[in-house]
Amino acid sequence: MRKALAIDLDGTLLSTNTFRDYLSYCGSAALHNFQFGICFNILWWVLLRKARLVSHSRMKEVLLNSTAAFMTQKSRLDHFVEKEMTYLDVRVQQIMEPYRNRGHLLVLATAAPAFYAHPIAEFLNMDLCCGTLLPSEVVIGQWKECVGQNKVEALRRLLQVHKAELDVVITDHSDDLPLLNYNTTGRNIIVGDDPKMLADIKKGCKTAWEQA
């Protein structure tokens, strides 16, 4: 069975928060195209989130639902992806690349929206990608962010289809503790040196891990 490497996107492969960048880019593009309703919607929901009146997940669901049709226009999406690639963490990419040479499947496993995570994965010649689906792509009332245990299940199903087994996880975030604990026999690599993140990993990770 082929082995697979799963790598996180935000803060790991790219040294940025791609969804924050997405909202900023979308708002600016909408303003230049006189799509003031989109601008207002982004501003309103971001303010609600900053005031902690809604969860991050709820804000993400609503804003994906209201902006995706505008942002999936190919030239606009391509330009956004191109801008995001300026944040590529070459050091992390160098950790990943030897596994490509060993024949591992390279999987981008992220909470970021799949509709822009897939082009990022393709840009980097990665094999597979699992990310957060658009609300319009799932049954009403069953939308879930691809994070935590949801990411584990999405990745497990994807690898099952491709007859592969998880061997390496690379992440910078304690949200991926379920994924680290799922990878019981492989290599878990933590990038970054945030003290809280490392403390959470030390406390919650039941499998072997190392800091890059």
- In this predicted structure, the answer to whether residue 33 has a pLDDT above a threshold of 90 is yes
Question: Could you report the per-residue pLDDT of 60-82, keeping only the tens digit for each?
Answer: 999 999 999 999 999 999 999 99
Cβ-Cβ contacts under 8 Å for 62 (sequence gap 6 or more):
41, 45
- In this predicted structure, the answer to whether residue 114 has a pLDDT above a threshold of 90 is yes
The pLDDT score that the predictor gives to residue 140 is 86
Query: H or E element: which one contains 106?
Result: strand 105-113
For the entire predicted model, the pTM comes to: 0.94
Instruction: Please give the mean pLDDT across all residues of the chain.
Output: 96
Average pLDDT over residues 7-25: 97
The pLDDT score that the predictor gives to residue 36 is 96
Question: Could you report the per-residue pLDDT of 133-191, keeping only the tens digit for each?
Answer: 999 999 888 999 999 999 999 999 999 999 999 999 999 999 999 999 999 999 999 99
Phi–psi pair at 137, nearest 5 degrees: -95, 0
Query: H or E element: which one contains 211?
Result: strand 210-211
- In this predicted structure, the answer to whether residue 192 has a pLDDT above a threshold of 90 is no
**Orientation angle between helical segments 18-32 and 56-71, nearest 10 degrees:** 50
- In this predicted structure, the answer to whether residue 113 has a pLDDT above a threshold of 90 is yes
